[in-house]
Structure formats: C-alpha cells, structure tokens
Amino acid sequence: MPELPEVETIKNELAPHVIGERILAVTILWDKIVRQPSANEFRRHLVGQEVTGIARRGKYLLFSLKNSEKLLVLHLKMSGSLLLATASTEPPAYTRAILWLDNGNNIFFRDPRKFGRLWLVNEPAEAFGKLGPEPFEEDFTPERLAGLLQGRKAPVKALLLDQDLIAGIGNLYADEALFAAGIYPLRPGASLTADEVRQLHQAIREVLMEGIKNKGASIVNYYRPSGDAGHAHEEFKVAHRRGENCPVCGTTLSYIKVRGRGTYFCPQCQRE
C-alpha cells in the first residue's frame, strides 16, 4: 500500500501539471471506485472545475476546486497508482478512472485490485473520519507520542499502523522506524521508556523523510505519476529483507506476523 512517502511524492509530482488546470471530462471505467456520491453525480460535478491545489492527509490526497465547496478525495489503497499521460496515450490495463485536463494531460487511476476509492465531499471527515496527527506537524512531539502510547497494551508495531493515532505510517516505514530505534515490534506501547519514545519519534521522522527523498518504495504496485519507480526500498535496512543479514550486526533478519501484518526486524538489535 502506498504510505506517507509515496502519497507525498505523488502529490509533489502531480501538482505542477494539475494545479490551475480545468477538468474537461471524467471517465469512470468501474463505478464502484466512486464511494460518494453516485458515479454520474461525481462526473457531472467535476467537469468544468479548475483544480486549485493538492494536499495530503495521512495516506489520502485532497484536490481543491475553484468553483466548488467540495473536495475531491482519493485513496490508492493496496495497489492504486496515479499516472500522468498525454491525452493520446492509451490507458494501461486496470485503469478504473480517468481525469482529462485542458492542458492536454490526463490522469489515469490504475488499480489492479480494485480497492482504491474516490469521494466528492464537503468535509474531509466524510471520506476518512478521524485521523491522528501528521508525523511532521510541529505539535507531533516526543511528549505527544508518549501520550498516544500511554496505557496501551497493544504491540508498538500495531499502534504505529493505527491511523487514528498517527496518520500516514504504514507497514514498511513502521518496520524501518522500529529498527532505527532498536525497539522489538511486539513490545506493548506503554512499556517504552521516555528515552525509547524519543528515539522512536526521531526514527519515524527520519525514515519518512528518507522515503520522500527517495521518491517512495516500489516493492510491488507503486509507481510515480511519470510511471517511474521510487527508490526508497533500495535503502531499507529490514523491511522486505527476510533472511538477509542485519546491516548493523550481521544477524539474520527475522519475520513474524503482528496483528496479521508481516513484520521484519533484527532479533539482536531489537531484543525482546
């Protein structure tokens, strides 16, 4: 699933080609990709609208529109990509929706597994409800992270994935952050010391920033709007490196399931 660095990369790379452009037409190739309103109302409302901005909230993209109080909200889910192409380009396989722009470009929403969704809403909460703080917000401090973990018996890995607690962190970057902080993924959240919380807070920000710098991780389905891959996965220390040796101590990396999510860690650097 595209996580914060991937969605931030998509936002940054789409913005110069989309902001200030008018939507000439909307093609919906699979009606269920539109969660709200109906596919016909979705099309009717968007045609003629000018895109005035793109923002990210957690793993969601939000497109603001010049002559509308509504927001276009998008989630790529497990396998979605937004691909930028000229109007003459044939849509790739698994394209579920197309936005046609007046600068001669279009945006293909490609989604092999059909989990991605589109909304047209008055308020963002209509699409995604409650989300926790953004990891790069000023008020996301070590003290706030400590407060979010306080009293929680769930594994810290599961807590990092809880979007109600912290927005945007997914499986890949949670593994990387826990490794960087030297924390065993099954530790209860409440068991972390103040020093460990500070280390984890720093690690979260650093691994996410590195992911953005490297344009996201293309392990399975993620592509940048240009169709190019990201390179963040090439720098991963533990994520998706099962059976390889730890880059710090040389111990063979381990793999377990935490609340059903595949989890990679070093049993020496992240002791139980």
- Residues that are catalytic: 2-3, 59, 261
Tell me the helix, strand and coil percentages in the chain, rounded to 5.
30, 25, 45
Q: Tokens at residue 193, please?
A: 């010391």
Query: SS3 letters for 238-249?
Result: CCCCCCCECCCC
Q: Across the chain, where does the E strand assignment appear?
A: 23-28, 34-36, 51-57, 60-65, 71-75, 81-86, 95-101, 105-110, 117-121, 254-258, 261-265
Q: DSSP label at 168?
A: S
Which residues contact residue 115 at a Cβ distance below 8 angstroms, ignoring those fewer than 6 apart?
77, 78, 79, 80
